[in-house]
Structure 1
Amino acid sequence: MPLVDMPLEQLKKYEGRNPRPADFDAYWERALDELEAVEANLELIPSAFQTPQAECFDLYFTGVRGARIHAKYIRPKKVDTPQPAILQFHGYTGDSGDWQDKLAYASLGFSVLALDCRGQGGSSEDTGGVKGNTHNGHIIRGLDDHPDNLLFRHIYLDTVRLARIAFGLPGVDPQRVYATGGSQGGALTIACAALEPRVTKLAPTFPFLCDYKRVWEMDLDKDAYLELNTFFRKFDPLHEREDEIFEKLGYIDLQFLAPRIQGEVLFFTGLMDTICPPSTQFAAYNKIISPKQLVVYPDFGHEWLPGSADRVMQFFLEE
């Protein structure tokens, strides 16, 4: 079989290349303290899109640095007992998607909350300099500033706030709050469950934002990771700050958050992935210490993985 990365047996033992900052744990405790100090100011607005079986809302809350964050929220009607909730996270530069693709879960009695990442393709704002859209460049936002100003720090904290809102919503069983997504969505699934370990099940697919130095060493700092290449070319062409840059990126490297996960994990990867190389994904997967299961697609890359959505649904339906 052709390889774009290490053989599978090596991948299962790979521990990552990117440096871990010495104060990593203190960094995230400080970040969570900042989130806790911000009033959520939750707002639910009935959507123009409604169905006979489920209520649809535009949900807004305030995240760190004052950004108003949007999520689509669907809850089933006529449910008498507490039911599960699913947190959905989208790919890089995307948005929360249409209402209709969440109705399958709502028809099964699940509430669904689908986040719009701040400043990307949806309705959440980015308050970094100007309100509104920044679309991409989010990995490198804050690299020339204090690590507390990294934009993905704020996005990870938005996932935590969304989870905490879900725990308190009417009709939601706080023991059954789950998370899922692919690519950036897979990354945010891991970040959410790591920083809010009450998330009891998570299903990430080929997660982004892992092991940045490995991406660069593989010469795959292109496509989703192109901004790493751009940053060095524009702001450090001689790589004099290389160690500093990769260590700072370590604060938002999911391989170092992965050990915090307490929920059960169903993890999907394709071995031909040249967008988020398999080794970078395994750097995170191999550090998960909670119950976990790996689903490998040998011939697939960063693309739709046949049967994966059905398998995720079955995973969430299991008691």
Structure 2
Amino acid sequence: MPGIAINPRSSFRDDNHYRMKNVFLILFAFALLTACGAEKDTCVDKPDLGGIKVDLNIERLEDDWKNCESEEAMLAFMNRNPEIASVFFKRDQYPNDSIFAKVMLERAKNPAVDTLYNESKKRFGDFSDIRADLEETFKSIKYQYPDFVAPKVKTIISGLANDMYYSDSLIVIGLDFYLGKGATFRPINYPSYVLRRYDKPYIVPGIALLMSQRYNLTNGKDRTMLSDMVFYGKSYYFAKQILPCTPDSLLIGYTKEEYEEANEHQPVIWASLLQNEMIYETGHMEKSRFMDERPNTTEIGPKCPGRIGRFVGWKIVNEYMERKPETSLKRLMAEKNSTLIFKESKYKPS
């Protein structure tokens, strides 16, 4: 199993590059013994949530939508659920409501949608497992933020129109997007490294990451990649605290192998970022190579997963919080100074 290699276009001087290659060989030898094993799923400290109460309201709408038998009934359904009509079914793109209702009724009766509906029923059942996970998620947030009010949750089958909608007061889950690799129909125009995350186990972690945005404060004037890295790092740290036993690989959307390789080769990754002077880069195109969705970060090596800057940001935030045990999650999320977090983390993998 090959490891993460330094890109041959390195601008290191030859002697430094040679030393880095030797370091990599040592790391790679060690990784052969560890990286191919199962990820160690460790739980962070889990608070006692027994006294926390939340009002969890889940409304299953897939039956209501599928059972509409007339255009009038369909339009009434959409009027009762304006976010679904707008975000999932793009109501504003139709010339009038009559045409919109007609098209939606035809879609609901489409045989392919029947297949999605039936497979969703089988895959998600009574939703009790996700309900339990959402309840724990909301309780964990309320433990940290006592004023938190749980958003309403709705589920829908849409014919793969959309995956998820989030606001502070409402979450809509397009269940047919999350049927997984065994589904008859899957979302189109998604690369495999993104498509694999459209599966049931990713629903609640994805919601936790979305909900972190409510609390994740940033300095809007700081356009550096470091600021972006710390922003994502705080989001992943938040989600891990809210879902303490969720594997890190699941939170960040890597395979276990990708996560283990990135984790073991942090010194190589960090050296490459420093070598290419990326930490304080402000150019969008330059940052995107390390922050955005890609199959691999080839600037570091062919086996380095995409979004590696987000991964490193998470490690920086973890180091910061380990050095600042008195810092609460609430205080971390309110800290806008990414440079302060970075410097006080003393992040320097070795």
Scaled by the length of structure 1, the TM-score of the pair is: 0.31
Structure having the higher helix fraction is 2
Give the number of the structure whose alpha-carbon radius of gyration is greater: 2
Q: Using CA pairs below 8 Å that are at least 6 residues apart, which structure has the higher relative contact order?
A: 2
Structure having the higher strand fraction is 1
